[in-house]
Amino acid sequence: MIDNLLLLTQVPILGVDLVIQGLFIGAIFALVAYGLALVWGVMNVKNLAQGDMVILGGYISYQATLWGYHPIVALPVAIVVMFMLGWLIYAVIIRRVVDRDMFTSLLATFGLSLLIQQILNLIYGPEVKVADAGFGDFELGTFIVIQNVRLYSLLMAAALALAIVIFMKKSRMGQAIRATAQDARAARVLGIDTDQVYAFTYALNAAICGAAGVLVAMIWVIQPYYGIVYSIRAFIIVTAAGLGNLPGVILTGFGLGVWENVAGFVFGAEFAVAAVVLMLVAVLMYRLVQLYRVRQVVR
């Protein structure tokens, strides 16, 4: 660890590189976590199939390359297909568990996660797949190499996130979603079809996951069982950012990407995940302390 810190002080450009690469990683995590926060906040469903939906999106872009298309073509396709699939999943499964207790929805989405994994395994087999974008790269100074595909992904993730935020603020459906999140019963009283809102929210989340998956397949690797990586990261981010804090989710996503990369460098890759979880613990403890303080003031 000391060696790594020394190295970092001797070659400070390494630090810049780590932060930049971390931001790229964080962009994808932020996107996935945003979708999770939406479903969690609006429907109170903890979607354990989140990561598997990402991988599903990845396979859509892989399929596109099999058919001879560039994987980026799959981005709009994945958004549309996953939106429809999300709606279907809502109608068949989630609708039945949305008002039940937490464990029912956990079990249902866990089952869904297994189902997606096994279906993907049956169709594509267990081997690792990639979708190569071939966008090239450029060098920043003498040391840092920036992959264009990562840069584009960052921009696309940012654009998608921005579009969603505007949609939530301005559009009728966005307002309905926020109203439902605040108080579903009151929203119903005021004439909002909450069932419709739930379906739309879940489908929107699936579409976001699909888009993230396309980017994942172009940057990293996909395999039917790798969804868990994204599920875990998304849950950590949403928990750390706090429910109902959607801009916070995006910031935390970026922060997690950078922190994971830097911690992996300094403490060794085996402690990267531990460092992330420690960060979560620290955030939760800080919040708890804040909470006590507020209570004391009230008393």
Partner 1 sequence: MIITRKHLRTMTAAVAGVAALGMAATAQAKVEGDTIILGAAISLTGKYATNGVHAQKGYDFAVDKINETGGVTVDGKSYKLKVVYYDDESTPARGAELAERLINQDGVKFMLGPYSSGLTKAIAPVTEKYKIPMVEAEGASRSLFTQGYKYMFAVLSTSEQYLASAIELAAEVAEKQGKKASDVTIAMAFENDPFSLDVRAGVVDDAEKFGMKIVVDDKLPRDLSDMTSTLTKVKALKPDLLVISGHSKGAATAARQIQELKIDVPMVAMTHCEAADITAKFGAGPTEGILCPTQWSETLAYKDDLMGTAAQYNSDFQKAYPEYSTVPYQTAMASMAVQVWADAFERANSFDTELLRDALADTEMQTFAGSVKFSEAGNNIAKPMVLRQIQDGEYLVVAPTKWAAAELRYPRQPEY
Interaction between residue 201 and partner 1 (CB under 8 A): no
**How far apart are CB 22 and partner 1 at their closest, in Å?**
8
Residues contacting 273, CB < 8 A, separation 6+: 260
Q: Which of residues 109-138 bind partner 1 (CB under 8 A)?
A: 121, 125-128, 130, 132, 137
Angle between helices 246-267 and 148-170 (to 10 degrees): 150
For the chain, what's the residue count?
299
Interaction between residue 292 and partner 1 (CB under 8 A): no
Of the residues 69, 73, 88, 147, which one makes contact with partner 1 according to CB under 8 A: 147
Q: What are residue 144's DSSP bridge partners?
A: 140
Secondary structure of residue 146 in the 3-state scheme: strand
Interaction between residue 73 and partner 1 (CB under 8 A): no
Q: Which of residues 247-266 bind partner 1 (CB under 8 A)?
A: 261-262, 264-265
Lookup: tokens for 167: 């949609």
Interaction between residue 21 and partner 1 (CB under 8 A): yes
Nearer to partner 1, 51 or 210 (CB): 51
Query: Rounded distance, CA 137 to CA 17, Å?
Result: 14
**How far apart are CB 25 and partner 1 at their closest, in Å?**
6
Interaction between residue 57 and partner 1 (CB under 8 A): no
Interaction between residue 145 and partner 1 (CB under 8 A): yes
Query: Rounded distance, CA 133 to CA 159, Å?
Result: 19
Instruction: Give the C-alpha distances (Å, rounded to integers) separating 63 from 19, 89, 208.
Output: 32, 21, 18
